[in-house]
A and B are shown apart, each in its own frame.
Chain A
Amino acid sequence: MNTIKEQTSFVAHHVRDMPRSGIREFFELVQGADDVISLGIGEPDFVTPWHIREAAIYALEKGKTGYTSNLGLLKLRKSVSKYMRKEFEVEYDPTKEILIAVGVSEALDIALRATINPGDKVMYHEPCYVSYHPTILMTHGVGVKVPTSEEDKFALNPKRLWEYWEPGVKVLVLNFPTNPTGGTMTREQLLEIARFAQEKDVLVLSDEIYAELTFEGKHTSIASLPGMRDRTILLHGCSKAFAMTGFRIGFACANPELTEAMMKVHQYSMLCAPILSQEAAFEALENGADSVARMKEQYQRRRDLIVRKLNASGLACHLSNGTFYAFPSIKSTGLDSKSFSLRLFEEQRVAAVPGTAFGESGEGFIRCSYSTSYENLLQATDLIDKFVQSL
């Protein structure tokens, strides 16, 4: 007699209920097409500078193929400490306040897992990077989103923080410069955010991966503001400025108690970041400044070009002060983000990600990455213009 029961789904409820990333949907559509000009790329179009790649090869030749300390190679942590002091104006002790993670994605995950009890609330601004809300859900936290908007050039308006705050908020996630909007914060605006964090006793989790790609003025880290260092987990890494996305290197910097907590999660899940990538990251931080400056100059010229062209086509677009994304409004066309992106792809073979892939607040916008050649940008903006005029 057969007693096998019908198989139930083994998928956990919170994973089952998590929406698929909006960008995946679009990815699947575009990936197969080979005649498309893509403004959909969320990573540098530059190849990692050779001196950095060469450092990884050298490490491999030397037989560096093992684990490292859970926190990461000490020489890399020392280098991160020096870099953070110079570029972010914050001091971190390399022996107990810096952890090398597998990209900022892992750093964000362990930071939240180390701090969130089930039901704790996490504020984040939206439109935002695709993984923030799902990562909060995976820690069984509750997301509280705060919209940023066009009239603030997608900076986080401090007034909104007070307005959207609710009891039970433990963490505030910041990401400036912002993927996808290119929004940045002035020091004055950050001071107000800092005051909010201190008054409401909130921990700030600040993802500053695009810091070096700030065009006008120098990037300010919230961790460098008075009283903020010890209530901030500062996340950074090599992916964007050094064009090292595939190396997967991120840093989490925080006070010893928080670092120790993140280290516990990291050691049991990841053990350590890959040693070859750590060696490459060391080379990048020690000797990569010239490469970063050269790439940044090009991004800035591309930004000026694409923003001007989009505005000329009637798609209002603020001059983003950081990242390599333009975030134009498509409201004047009467289309919603998804149909705009879909039709633009189908009719003109240009791929730009719908703003809604980055949350509901992205409705009415598309993300155009200018991490591509001038020629592609000129062609793509001409085609966008053609498309908009045809509507």
Chain B
Amino acid sequence: MEKVLQLLVEGESLTTRQMAEVLNYSEEEVESQLQELKKENILLGWRPVLNPSAEVDAVVRAVIEVKIKPEREGGFDKLAERISRFDEVESCYLMSGGYDLLVVVKGRQLHAVAGFISERLATIEGVLSTATHFLLRAYKEQGYLLPGVVDDSDKPKVSP
């Protein structure tokens, strides 16, 4: 794995300058490796990992199990891509098991999310059924434990 990528995967949020210092690269080198990763579609982009309980971005999240009818040409892909294009859709995965797509939808209000599902998603031709589950509380978000889960405040600042 590229060293820059390793560092990203490790998870400490560092600026490109800090990454350059950690790896003993020039900033340009880090930048060019990042560009390369983007060009190869390995790194899709940058997003902050927000606390889902903080009411800043989306307030309501729903996980939807979607059954769809595969098409003769394109199988599940065409429909899955069509669903993925909606801004409301945060993630969309093809699944094995009892349904076909797992779609994560976010919105500012409950009725907005509900409206999106019933009026947009469910009415797309080829969508056979949807089962919606609303998220109640997050305990871990993309590898980050929510505050309060770990407490190491008793650790001494100097030890042998």
A-side residues, CB < 8 A to B, are: 21, 23, 26-27, 30-31, 33, 36, 38, 40-43, 47, 129-131, 179, 297-298, 301, 304-305, 308-309, 351, 353, 357, 373-375, 378
Contacts and interface: CB of A to CB of B under 8 A. Distances in A.
A42 B160 contact: yes
Interface string B74-93: 00000000000000000000
Given A47-B152, A374-B12, A374-B18, A31 B24 contact: no
B105 to A, nearest CB: 30
A357 B159 CA distance: 11
Nearest to A376: B12
Interface band, chain B: 10 to 19
A130 B12 contact: no
Contacts of B22: 301, 305, 374, 378
B158 interface: yes
A30 B157 CA distance: 7
B28 interface: no
List the 3 shortest-distance A-B pairs measured between CB atoms, nearest first: A40-B158, A42-B159, A27-B158
Contact of B160 (A131, A305, A373, A374): A131
B14 interface: yes
Contact of A23 (B6, B10, B158): B158
A298 B10 contact: yes
Contact of A373 (B12, B155, B157): B12
18 contacts: A21-B160, A26-B158, A31-B156, A31-B158, A33-B157, A38-B158, A40-B157, A40-B158, A40-B159, A41-B158, A42-B158, A42-B159, A129-B160, A179-B160, A301-B6, A375-B14, A378-B18, A378-B22
B157 A41 contact: yes
Given A373-B12, A375-B12, A130 B160 contact: yes
Given A374-B12, A378-B22, A23 B157 contact: no
A293 to B, nearest CB: 13
B136 interface: no
Contacts of B138: none
Contacts of B150: 47
Contacts of B158: 23, 26-27, 30-31, 38, 40-42, 351, 353
Contacts of B14: 374-375
Contacts of B18: 374-375, 378
A298 B23 CA distance: 12
A50 to B, nearest CB: 10
A304 B14 CA distance: 17
B159 A36 contact: no
